Amino acid sequence: MLSVMAKKTAHDDPLAPVTLAVGQEDLLLDRAVQEVVAAARAADADTDVRDLAPEQLQPGTLAELTSPSLFSERKVVVVRNAQDLSADTIKDVKAYLGAPAEEITLVLLHAGGAKGKGLLDAARKAGAREVACPKMTKPADRLAFVRNEFRGLGRSATPEACQALVDSIGSDLRELASAVSQLTADVEGTIDEAVVGRYYTGRAEASSFTVADRAVEGRAAEALEALRWSLSTGVAPVMITSALAQGVRAIGKLSSARGGRPADLARELGMPPWKIDRVRQQMRGWTPDGVAIALRAIADADAGVKGGGDDPEYALEKAVVVIARAARSRRG
């Protein structure tokens, strides 16, 4: 199943005469094209697909490509970066939008900015089917993308697994999609955080957050082991101090927040609901003084790894021990 993960217009027929894919997320743009091509080839296995860059669509080219054929063959004409078309070619496309040919599906890929906006407006006015393919700059959008990928493949993954995958892979949607595909191919049953950890524990983000999680849980020995392993695999010390800071700040935020349902707290604190539950478990041994002590230790470690000390590894180990001790301050 092709999961485009994008908002579409009401008439969502991939074989509509014109599809307008708008945005700058390459994976989603490619999927918009793939969805149309797959639908066309399902209707006619011999569908001819022409995939063109702006410079390949000269004045008159579109008329040639869309002229009636003796064999009445179905055709998909894809125009990439349509905002870069020449003024004369844009006139051709606008004229075509007014009277699209039968058995032809035109797919216009447009970045969506001010450049070439006249063509964008004309396609919308002509009633083109539209697929939004925006860059996913927010972590919440990438998390939703991963959930959608698993759902599209008919598989179940826990919220923690989805978040761990985003933390591990980062912002590249192609890599995220590839990771989901690999996990669903290799793993049976529900995919959980432990599975993601086994596959992607070597990733810098994943290993640094493992250090932070063990430290704020008061598990000093495990945190130090994860720290040494991370450093030995080339994780930058600044990534570890960043993860430690995020972990302790999350505990500070939640401990000072008003009580309420995870969903309400998530909105208030800017965290996903599943993380609220995790931080609640992690904060059981913490006190406000412990949070302050831990943040000072992290600030010292950050200065140490950024050139303020001679031994970044020692600075991090010291911070991890202080944080783990602070995590047990209420108990001890």
Tell me how far apart the alpha carbons of residues 118 and 85 are, in angstroms, rounded to a whole number.
11
Query: What does the pLDDT average to over 76-85?
Result: 95
Can you state the angle between helices 237-256 and 262-269, rounded to 10 degrees? 120
Tell me how far apart the alpha carbons of residues 207 and 235 are, in angstroms, rounded to a whole number.
8
pLDDT in tens, 239-268: 889 889 989 998 988 887 766 666 667 667
What is the 3 state secondary structure string of 268-290? Answer: HHCCCHHHHHHHHHHHHHCCHHH
pLDDT over threshold 60, residue 332: no
With CA atoms as reference, report the closest residue to 77 among 55, 95, 53: 53
CA angle 286, 288, 289 (to 5 degrees): 95
55 three-class SS? helix
Residues forming beta bridges with residue 51, ordered by sequence position = 78
Tell me how far apart the alpha carbons of residues 109 and 202 are, in angstroms, rounded to a whole number.
36
With CA atoms as reference, report the closest residue to 212 among 269, 250, 181, 186: 250
H or E element at residue 98 = helix 87-98
Instruction: At 49, list the tokens.
Output: 């697909």
Instruction: At 65, list the tokens.
Output: 């490509």
Residue pointed to by tokens 């983000």: 205
The mean-pLDDT minimum among 152-166, 197-211, 217-231, 292-306 falls in 197-211
pLDDT in tens, 87-114: 999 999 999 999 998 889 999 999 998 9
pLDDT in tens, 182-223: 889 888 899 998 888 777 755 555 578 888 989 999 999 989
Sheet hosting strand 104-110, strand order edge to edge: 48-52, 75-79, 104-110, 18-22, 129-132
With CA atoms as reference, report the closest residue to 140 among 280, 275, 29: 275
pLDDT in tens, 22-67: 999 988 999 999 999 999 999 999 899 999 999 999 999 999 998 8
Tell me how far apart the alpha carbons of residues 109 and 125 are, in angstroms, rounded to a whole number.
16
Q: Band the pLDDT of 4: cuts 50, 70, 90.
A: very low
Query: What does the pLDDT average to over 222-249?
Result: 86
Instruction: At 117, list the tokens.
Output: 């906006």
CB 240 within 8 A of CB 211: yes
**What string of DSSP letters covers 179-215?**
HHHHHHHH--S-B-HHHHHHHHTTSHHHHHHHHHHHH
